[in-house]
Structure 1
Amino acid sequence: MPPRRQRPRESPALVAFGRQMRRMREAKGVKQDAIAQLTTMSGAQISRIENGKRRATRSFVEIVDDHLDAGGALINLWEDLNKDGHPVPIWFDWPKIEADATMLITYQHSVIPGLIQTPAYALAILQGNQSAADARIGRQEILRGPREDGFSPPIYVILIDEQALYRQVGTSETMKEQLEHLRHMSMSPNITVQVVLGSGEHDGNMGAFVVATMEDRSEVAYIETAVRPITTDAPADLSTVARTLVSLRSRALTDEMSRDFIGKVVRERWT
């Protein structure tokens, strides 16, 4: 039996910020609803920020700091937790976002996404690092369900460039097993796989990304870069990703056509 799914631990940075914001708000006798109305966010979203489950943007913090007459204290705390110019926090909070999401949409241009990798493929792509490969495979538990712990699996939409199907990782047998696994998983009720035809130019050539939609309908994007991955919920970033998704989906095969295409690649390239 697979291990019982556990919620990831809260991010200390988010918890620290959320608790301080709540203290300052309550000290002024301000209700969450007032902050929600002021920032055009829902009460549920404000609650998630104060509970350390959602990251606050700089613009949000500036509005709240001014309304609470905090004199920049809340802004200073946000900046202290926002090292190196990255959203609070950076990479380390993504596993929790991924686990709590109700929908994940990912685009990969060169490799099979981690949540759908086989053990052999993951081990090869991680250059033989067994502990890292085991951790990656362990994250795939979020796709299984419904389970006795009450979690339902997220909707998982995979847009994958056709070149990733031809790019060898490990042995030919590894590739055959991986693509057959990809086809099999695409028949799960919560998983859709669409192959993006590689011809032509599109914004997806800039890099891989994942968009997580949370229970309150807010979105967070995880964007891979040459330096480090970035986790962001900045509106400008999300708008750019949304435009890219429109472009990619216009070039993608349907799920059924994609399964046929993947099967053709298995037969012609990896068998």
Structure 2
Amino acid sequence: MIESAVRPLIAMSRLAARPRGGRRRCDRRMRRANRRGQLTSTSPLAQNISPSHSSGWITSPPRSLGNFPWERGYGYGVPAVDRSFGWLSDWIGASSLLLMTWMARSRILGDELRRHRNSCGLTLAELGARTGRGKSTIARWETGEKPIDRDDLLKILGALGITGPTESALLSLVGDLSQKSWYDEADMPKRLRDLAALESKATKITELAIAVVPGLIQTSAYAAAVLRGMGGPEDRILHRVENRIARQTVLAGSVQYTALLDELVLQRPVGGAEVMRAQLDQLATLSQQGNVTLRVLPVGLTHPGLTGAFILLEFAHGLPIVHIEQQRTSALLDRKAETAAYQATTSTLRAMAMDAEASRALIHQYADRWRDRAHGEHF
């Protein structure tokens, strides 16, 4: 989705630097893109590639940065960029900074360094002589096998004569290589690693749950019961529980998290009475945490969320992203029309849900009922 939206802009940016016929073709494509709503008066493309500018990029990215990662064969399917690339995040929407793991960042940086070295006609040994580093070390930087620190990168950029926007972008990128997140090396499916990455970057997370307690607020026992219900080897289930609990560290930060819980979630006996008692006690405790809000949608209420659970992730810059999950698959939605619909649904659900205090009281009531049932009494 993101790729299809950005490819026409990439093509136009390249045509913009061409004279005569290329310029006319670029102008025609720009007019078509404008009619489709792909350009705005404030976008870098509209500002910097116009009939009055014949030199291509003015303040936006120079062509020396090369093609996007999906064109270089990384296979990620979306632009692997983040907020550090200010011009690019503004261009395509900062929420599409998306999903760049530590290894992806390291590989992309290394690829850029190798291209610039080759364009300068330098061998690994020659660049090493200029920077005081061995050629094997530089080779490992270029393959992404070894992260490069800021001081070494500055030496390389100086030796290669890289300045301006390219220098700023690469320096911003390298700042993230020294800080791996737990999900960068976790043994987990890419779709879950992507979700964890987005959760770590979000400023606000709103989650609708209609079947089970959301993963970010599950206990280990509850998570294990849910995953056992889906089947699979026990060791694999326990490993997935560990990953799920690791995701919850995001709630220790500043993100504002809201869970909209269908009341049936509090009634469904996942894992048995004692597991439910412990789970609801944890919900009651979490609801008192400053950045966590739990709201209950009363049973019997017909609401627009009955068609399926979802997670709405919002960011400090750019458009929101919606995560939807089924039994074996999941999807990330980032088109404005799609995310706007989920934002509207979220607003409706907030208006229909019980307030935070009433929800906490109801959670306590269900916790007491499950406690009684765990001691042999009727629910």
TM-score for both structures, normalised by structure 2: 0.50
Sort the Cα spacing of 1:261 and 1:124 in 2 relative to 1 into closer, same or farther, 3 A: same
Name the structure 2 match of 1:71: none
SS at match of 2:302: coil
Deviations 1:36-71 (A, max 9, x none): 659xxx95633676997249xxxxxxxxxxxxxxxx
CA distance in structure 2 between the aligned counterparts of 1:239 and 1:51, rounded to whole angstroms: 14
Deviations 1:113-140 (A, max 9, x none): 0000111111111115000000000011
Name the structure 2 match of 1:201: 302
SS at match of 1:111: coil
CA distance in structure 2 between the aligned counterparts of 1:173 and 1:257, rounded to whole angstroms: 23
Instruction: State whether residues 211 and 222 of structure 1, in contact with CA within 8 Å, keep that contact through their aligned partners in structure 2.
Output: yes
Instruction: State whether residues 48 and 54 of structure 1, in contact with CA within 8 Å, keep that contact through their aligned partners in structure 2.
Output: no
Q: How many residues align?
A: 214
Sort the Cα spacing of 1:164 and 1:36 in 2 relative to 1 into closer, same or farther, 3 A: farther
Name the structure 2 match of 1:136: 244
Shift of 1:237: 1.5
Sort the Cα spacing of 1:166 and 1:196 in 2 relative to 1 into closer, same or farther, 3 A: same
Name the structure 1 match of 2:36: none
Equivalent runs, 1:109-258 vs 2, <5 Å: 109-127=210-228, 128=234, 129-145=237-253, 153-225=254-326, 228-258=329-359
Q: Which amino acid aligns with 2:222?
A: Y
Q: Which amino acid aligns with 2:97?
A: K
Q: Which amino acid aligns with 1:132?
A: R
CA distance in structure 2 between the aligned counterparts of 1:27 and 1:141, rounded to whole angstroms: 46
Shift of 1:177: 0.5
Name the structure 2 match of 1:61: none
Greater Cα offset, 167-176 or 46-55: 46-55
SS at match of 2:97: coil
CA distance in structure 1 between the aligned counterparts of 2:270 and 2:44, rounded to whole angstroms: 53
Deviations 1:180-236 (A, max 9, x none): 001101111100001111213221110000000012042000012456211111122
Structure number, greater radius of gyration: 2
CA distance in structure 1 between the aligned counterparts of 2:370 and 2:270, rounded to whole angstroms: 13
Report which structure shows greater RCO (CA 8 Å, sep ≥6): 1
Shift of 1:34: 2.5
Unaligned runs of 5+ in 1: 1-13, 56-88, 146-152
Instruction: State whether residues 94 and 319 of structure 2, in contact with CA within 8 Å, keep that contact through their aligned partners in structure 1.
Output: no
CA distance in structure 1 between the aligned counterparts of 2:262 and 2:320, rounded to whole angstroms: 23
Choose between structure 1 and 2: higher helix proportion: 2
TM-score for both structures, normalised by structure 1: 0.68
SS at match of 2:275: helix
**Out of 57, 72, 97, which is 1:53 matched to?**
97
Q: Which amino acid aligns with 2:321?
A: V
CA distance in structure 2 between the aligned counterparts of 1:22 and 1:110, rounded to whole angstroms: 43
Instruction: State whether residues 197 and 253 of structure 1, in contact with CA within 8 Å, keep that contact through their aligned partners in structure 2.
Output: yes
Superposition RMSD on alpha carbons, in Å?
Answer: 3.5
SS at match of 2:212: coil
Unaligned runs of 5+ in 2: 18-41, 49-85, 100-189, 229-233, 373-379
SS at match of 2:277: helix
**Out of 347, 360, 370, which is 1:259 matched to?**
360
Sort the Cα spacing of 1:193 and 1:92 in 2 relative to 1 into closer, same or farther, 3 A: same
Equivalent runs, 1:7-26 vs 2, <5 Å: 25=13
State the identity as a percent: 28
